[in-house]
A and B are shown apart, each in its own frame.
Chain A
């Protein structure tokens, strides 16, 4: 066959095509497959007395993950995993609820100001997440207006701050992830076919029915992207709970970080990482299956 003026065969072309795949293949192999497999291998190893990795095959790390420790069974690790799942779900949900009005507001602006509003959503990203989180520490401190207001209303003991607390973690998480839901949702809302909304109105639909039948299905592609971009990183987030949650509000991200730094227990850290990965994949699988009856295209 002739390919761009050159006489060749499909097999030759195929072989040449493989060369173009090489950079991506090396990338994935080096940064995903090998580390991933190392993590699996590591999770079956043991911690030595000085924090080194001892290559004995053992299921001890997974027993610990399920809560069996030196002092018998305790629900702590499972609690941390479930709490992480819960925080990620609540964060995603609140981001969705906040992002809908925001996306519609931005999409309904005249084109000239629309991108200004969009820029305002993106600008916080120009600041590092750690710095933004420290900023929240200050904003939620005892002598700042938010805490003062809560103290005045009797919701907070005098001279105490709003951080560290679960609330502070949620505030930090939601503000960090909101743009990840707003952006893809906005792109769906911008392309909305409003004649469907008019048709629903014409066919006696209430506002709620109009939203769920004429608008919601059209925003599903953007919403799906937003959920994936929020839920997965929220599951593993450790900067925000570390800085805003305090010692009593550990999430799985903190647990993993502790194993690799403070405790120097890499094998257990690897096992917890894999546990997190499995949980995230299960969550996505559930979403994917439930989304099957909805046309995502």
Chain B
């Protein structure tokens, strides 16, 4: 495919500095600070109302922060209106101009900047080609499918060569199958262009599939920032553990060596910072066996087992732990066996 418009920038970054946003009495963002290195696919993840879209709109310049600054490559963007920021947005509704053709939509930003006619043509052609939109160039938005519209929105933003591309839930209007395809394409596009992408989503699978780094948000604060595997494997809080995938949360007390769970003593890889709190373990990290494991073994009975094709899921008692294992051998309710909670799979949470 076509080469990147611009060599990928390195090192320079987008910096969000202590951004606060209040709407009347409601605090949408309560002091968020973030560094996004250039060329990263960065995702703001969280449930609706967590402030992720507000943060994105503040970066775009569509919302003015109550406090704090947005700095891009050393330049303070905060006082600049949206139309003077070197960032572009793919809107959730795509916001294509209904009276303009695909070609005119893609040219919109270039014409706003009074770019030379030949350069506009060159870039529009490039955008159409990059997103396989040539056959639809002369159509109006209402004559396109959802996936095509989304590609037009992407092309319209990318031909401007923004330093940061902002994506506001761009896949929420697509069906599940197309969404999975688009995620892969989006990731590939980002790597080819070497651009900084900031994606807003509430879908943790999507966040994991595309991101270099994820910022998990909760009620206007950053809960945890890290690579997808860091956030998944080493959640720091109950909220993080439960929002990304399924987790068994075990409440107990700290012991001089390990942890006192309701169902017995467990060895831990690290010393908890609290006297009483939670450790977490992912269902797929629990190991089942017929023989007693050397460490952290529990004698359990299968309360309920569900066959799911690619894997099976079971709830164990008396410890109330959920397990996810290979589908064979099939577990039966009432079956007794040993469960191992490996030391390296037990994550000590901050609370």
Interface residues of A (CB under 8 A from B): 193, 195-196, 198-206, 209-210, 213-214, 217, 294-295
Within the complex, the shortest CB–CB distance from B116 to chain A, in Å, comes to 15
Cα(A28)–Cα(B133), bound, Å? 52
Please state if A199 and B91 are interface contacts (CB–CB under 8 Å): yes
Q: Contacts A295-B98, A295-B99; is A202 near B88 (CB within 8 Å)?
A: yes
If A195-B95, A203-B112 are given as contacts, then 15 extra A-B residue pairs at C-beta distance below 8 Å, sorted by A number, are A193-B93, A196-B97, A199-B89, A201-B82, A202-B83, A202-B109, A202-B157, A203-B88, A203-B109, A203-B156, A204-B112, A205-B83, A213-B97, A217-B98, A294-B99
**B81 close to chain A: CB less than 8 A:** yes
Q: Interface size on B (CB < 8 Å)?
A: 26
Please state if B108 and A205 are interface contacts (CB–CB under 8 Å): yes
Report chain A residues within 8 Å CB of B91: 195, 198-199, 202
Cα(A199)–Cα(B94), bound, Å? 9
Residue of A nearest to B113 (CB): A204
Report chain B residues within 8 Å CB of A210: 83
Please state if A204 and B62 are interface contacts (CB–CB under 8 Å): no
Please state if A202 and B82 are interface contacts (CB–CB under 8 Å): yes
Q: Contacts A209-B112, A213-B108; is A202 near B97 (CB within 8 Å)?
A: no
Contact code string B78-109 (vs A, CB < 8 Å = 1, else 0):
00011110011101010111111000000011
Report chain A residues within 8 Å CB of B98: 196, 217, 295
Please state if A201 and B109 are interface contacts (CB–CB under 8 Å): no
Partner of B83, one of A195, A204, A213, A294: A204
Cα(A213)–Cα(B109), bound, Å? 12
Taking each of A196, A199, A201, which has the highest tally of chain B beta carbons within 10 Å of its own beta carbon?
Answer: A199
- 29 of the cross-chain contacts (CB-CB < 8 Å) are A193-B95, A196-B95, A196-B98, A198-B62, A198-B95, A199-B89, A199-B95, A200-B83, A200-B97, A201-B82, A201-B83, A202-B61, A202-B87, A203-B108, A203-B109, A203-B156, A203-B157, A203-B160, A204-B112, A205-B83, A205-B108, A205-B112, A210-B83, A213-B97, A213-B100, A214-B97, A217-B97, A217-B99, A295-B99
**B60 close to chain A: CB less than 8 A:** yes
Cα(A203)–Cα(B100), bound, Å? 14
Within the complex, the shortest CB–CB distance from B7 to chain A, in Å, comes to 23
Residue of B nearest to A293 (CB): B99
Cα(A198)–Cα(B61), bound, Å? 10
Report chain A residues within 8 Å CB of B62: 198, 201-202
Please state if A198 and B82 are interface contacts (CB–CB under 8 Å): yes
Please state if A202 and B89 are interface contacts (CB–CB under 8 Å): yes
Report chain A residues within 8 Å CB of B160: 203-204
Report chain B residues within 8 Å CB of A201: 61-62, 81-83
Please state if B60 and A202 are interface contacts (CB–CB under 8 Å): yes
Report chain A residues within 8 Å CB of B81: 201
Report chain A residues within 8 Å CB of B61: 201-202
Cα(A294)–Cα(B140), bound, Å? 12
Cα(A206)–Cα(B98), bound, Å? 19
Residue of B nearest to A195 (CB): B95
Report chain A residues within 8 Å CB of B93: 193, 195
Within the complex, the shortest CB–CB distance from B191 to chain A, in Å, comes to 24
Cα(A204)–Cα(B110), bound, Å? 8
Contact code string B53-83 (vs A, CB < 8 Å = 1, else 0):
0000000111000000000000000000111
Report chain B residues within 8 Å CB of A217: 97-99
Report chain A residues within 8 Å CB of B97: 196, 199-200, 213-214, 217
Within the complex, the shortest CB–CB distance from A197 to chain B, in Å, comes to 9
Cα(A267)–Cα(B81), bound, Å? 65
Within the complex, the shortest CB–CB distance from B111 to chain A, in Å, comes to 8
Report chain A residues within 8 Å CB of B112: 200, 203-206, 209
Cα(A201)–Cα(B61), bound, Å? 9
The B305-328 residues at the A interface (CB cut-off 8 A) are: none
Report chain B residues within 8 Å CB of A206: 83, 112
Residue of A nearest to B99 (CB): A217
Residue of B nearest to A294 (CB): B99
Please state if A204 and B109 are interface contacts (CB–CB under 8 Å): yes
Cα(A294)–Cα(B160), bound, Å? 27
